[in-house]
Every structure is written in C-alpha cells, then in structure tokens.
C-alpha cells in the first residue's frame, strides 16, 4: 500500500486509517495495531514538522511480508544530521521546560527494527513491527 500525503496538521490520521484497513485484511492483533499507529504517528509528525520541503508531500509505503509489517516514511526535505540528535532525558527536559523531541527515541525503542537515513535530498525512516510475538 502506498500513500502520498500533504504536509498538514493531523495528516497522520490518514496513515492510522490505512493501518486499520490493513489490520482488517491481514488480521493482526489490536496491540500490534496500536503499536504501529504510535510509530507511524511519530514518523509522519517528524516529516511534517521538520522536512521543510517545497514539494510539501510525505511518501509512505506499507508492506506486510510473512508476519512482519514494514513501514517506510520518506520526505524530500533538506534533511538533518542524524548523529547530532541526542537521546532525550526527561529530567533535563522538565528542568529546561522543553517537553518536545521524543519522536526518534519512541520509534527506535517501540519498534522491532528501525533505521533512518537523512541527507540533503530528504529523510527516510524504515520501521518494522513483528505482527506475531
């Protein structure tokens, strides 16, 4: 399944709805659906907020292969230096009253596999969820 979405607020709801359809067709558990939705939320929100793309579009591929869901989220923004992103720390964030900046950490730790590539041509995130524990 492929989606091309505009970079607008709340557009992750379309991706969530696509996951609902996939669950109906493939038949994975509600827990896996909720996990997948939280992951796709973060990828889409990051793309909308940070891609700064003139094309103003996000490209999403959903692929179910055997018992695994692969979600690839790509934008054509100016990219960023992945190695410069630090692991967020809640204590520091509360002290600094800066509560945002959790997206990559959530994707990395909540997924079963996660990769990111970013350069001046855009950013691509690949998320893997095992549909059967």
- Determine, following the binding rule CB under 8 A, whether residue 50 of this chain makes contact with other proteins: no
Task: Name the residue nearer to other proteins (CB basis): 87 or 120.
Answer: 87
Q: Which of 77, 79, 103, 122 binds other proteins (CB under 8 A)?
A: 103
Which residue in 78, 39, 81 sits closest to 60, CA to CA?
39
Q: Which of 50, 56, 110, 130 binds other proteins (CB under 8 A)?
A: 110
Q: Which of 4, 27, 30, 120 binds other proteins (CB under 8 A)?
A: 30
Instruction: Considering only the stretches 39-47, 52-60, 63-71, 118-126, report the one whose residues sit in contact with other proteins under the rule CB under 8 A.
Output: 39-47
- Determine, following the binding rule CB under 8 A, whether residue 85 of this chain makes contact with other proteins: no
Q: What is the residue-wise DSSP string for the chain?
A: -EEEEES-TTTHHHHHHHHHHHHHHH---HHHHHHHHHHHHHHHHHHHHH---SS-EEEEEEEEETTEEEEEEEE-S----GGGPPPP-HHHHHHHT-----HHHHHHHHSSEEEEEEETTEEEEEEEEES--
| Residue showing tokens 């094309």 | 55
- Determine, following the binding rule CB under 8 A, whether residue 55 of this chain makes contact with other proteins: no
Contacts with other proteins, residue ranges (CB under 8 A):
10-14, 16, 30-31, 34-35, 37-38, 41-42, 45, 88-91, 93-94, 97, 99-100, 102-103, 105-106, 109-110
């Amino acid at each position: 399944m492929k989606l091309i979405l505009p970079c607008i607020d709340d557009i992750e709801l379309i991706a969530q709805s696509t996951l609902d359809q996939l669950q109906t067709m493939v038949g994975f558990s509600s827990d896996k659906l909720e996990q997948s939705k939280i992951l796709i939320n973060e990828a889409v929100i990051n793309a909308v907020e940070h891609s700064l793309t003139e094309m103003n579009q996000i490209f999403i591929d959903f692929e179910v292969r055997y018992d695994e869901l692969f979600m690839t989220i790509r934008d054509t923004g100016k990219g960023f230096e992945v190695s410069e992103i630090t692991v967020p720390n809640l204590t520091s964030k509360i002290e600094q009253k800066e509560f945002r900046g959790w997206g990559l950490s959530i994707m990395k730790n909540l997924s079963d596999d996660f990769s990111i590539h970013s350069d001046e041509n855009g950013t691509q995130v690949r998320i893997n969820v095992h549909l059967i524990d």
